[in-house]
Amino acid sequence: MLEKKIKKLTKAKFALPLLNGTIALHTSLLLAGIKENDEVIVPTITFIASVNSIKYVGANPIFMNVDKYLNLDQDQTIEFLEKETIFLKGKTINKKTKKIIKAIIIVHTFGNAAKFDKLLNICKKKNIKIIEDAAESLGTKYTFGKFKNKFTGTIGDYGIYSMNGNKIVTSGNGGILILKTKKDYANANYLVTQAKDDKLRFIHNNLGYNYKMSNISAALALAGLEKLNFYLNKKKQIRNIYIQKLKRIKNLSILESPDYAKNNNWLNLIKLKTNKNLYKIIHKLKLNNIECRPVWYPNHLQKIYKRNYTYKTQNIFKIIKNVLCVPSSAFLEARDISKVIRIIKKIAN
């Protein structure tokens, strides 16, 4: 039932419910044939699960910069592929590392649709698989351009959604893998049910995983999907309240969303003129039992990834240092948002 519901909602050909979004990413990389010492392009600003999944298959991330929406910078990624790689015998090879680049993970950060229309064509020519990490962007749809009327997560070779407890629709813990071919769907089912070649005698010829979503989680997800439009409308209202209340406040503004898509507004971010008081604001909000945080720390600077290849990420802190993730629950009231802004304004100004 859940598979049918997701397919109907997103117009995807195949959908497979799994234990969580990270598992869906891992499975997609397995299906894409990513192996040890291969390379996978990924933005440095993303939840670390997007990057860790690459290491699960023994591959290495190549870190890219982000645009003003905190999504993968399409132009710089194209520049990297054109200047820093060669295409030889059907494979794209990193000039510096001499390793094969087999995939790219497009992350639709904070529910905002990433721009990758030009990148899609180049990746097809260079035999690079596209995996869409749409963990946060269920319900986000392109309204303009090449991808018009398509949902995030359904355009690349593989896509994933998260149904973790903090997402728009939750099953407590869960994820969805979006697939385009019957062959991939069959292979995915095989891998996530312990790779059983003979179910009667329990013969396993390959390494498999216990990754399928439980029936209880699927029931919760189905119930949540029934209210998806309600949640999307509420999220839009909350964003509009933030925008209206920040209009006349000096030194504070809402982070822009792409105008080429109807974004699900999963999380709102406030831009400060300076990061001088960023952590004072976070501390004060927490004293008032209000959860908030800065943007994720750049993954190319994480201890375990410092030696991995990066491309033009030097200005990353200029992009993220003044940005604060603020409460965005669908159950927020206008008075709650006013309280958040009042505390931020008092310290920021």
Q: Please determine, for residue 66, whether its predicted confidence score (pLDDT) is greater than 80.
A: yes
Give backbone dihedrals phi and psi of 178, rounded to 5 degrees, phi first: -100, 130
CB 265 within 8 A of CB 328: yes
Q: Please determine, for residue 275, whether its predicted confidence score (pLDDT) is greater than 90.
A: no
Q: Can you read off the two tokens belonging to residue 152?
A: 């995030």
Task: For strands 129-133 and 158-162, give the pairing.
Answer: parallel
* Helix residue ranges per DSSP H, 150-268: 182-192, 215-225, 228-246
Give backbone dihedrals phi and psi of 139, rounded to 5 degrees, phi first: 95, -10
Query: Which residue matches tokens 């596209």?
Result: 130
pLDDT number for residue 266: 97
pLDDT number for residue 222: 96
DSSP 8-state assignment for residue 312: S
Dihedral sign for Cα atoms in the order 282, 285, 289, 294: negative
- Confidence class of residue 248 from pLDDT cuts 50, 70 and 90? confident
pLDDT number for residue 334: 95
Q: What is the mean pLDDT of residues 69-98?
A: 98
Q: What is the mean pLDDT of residues 247-266?
A: 94
pLDDT number for residue 47: 98
CB 136 within 8 A of CB 69: no
Q: What is the chain's percent helix, strand, coil content, to nearest 5?
A: 35, 20, 40
Q: Please determine, for residue 89, whether its predicted confidence score (pLDDT) is greater than 90.
A: yes
Note the pLDDT tens digit of each residue in 136-185. Answer: 999 999 999 999 999 999 999 999 999 999 999 999 899 999 999 999 99
CB 33 within 8 A of CB 59: no
Query: Which residue matches tokens 């890219």?
Result: 64
Angle between helices 278-287 and 334-348 (to 10 degrees): 140
- Confidence class of residue 119 from pLDDT cuts 50, 70 and 90? very high
- Angstrom distance (rounded) from CA 29 to CA 17: 16
Please, what are the domains in the chain?
Answer: 2-225 (3.40.640.10), 228-348 (3.90.1150.10)
Q: Please determine, for residue 349, whether its predicted confidence score (pLDDT) is greater than 80.
A: no
pLDDT number for residue 274: 83
- Angstrom distance (rounded) from CA 37 to CA 43: 19
Note the pLDDT tens digit of each residue in 320-342. Answer: 999 999 999 999 999 999 999 99
Q: What is the mean pLDDT of residues 78-105?
A: 98
The helix (H) or strand (E) run that includes residue 162 is strand 158-162
- Nearest one of 180, 122, 182, 133 to 159, comparing CA atoms: 133
Burial class (CB in 10 A: 0-12, 13-18, 19+), 97: middle
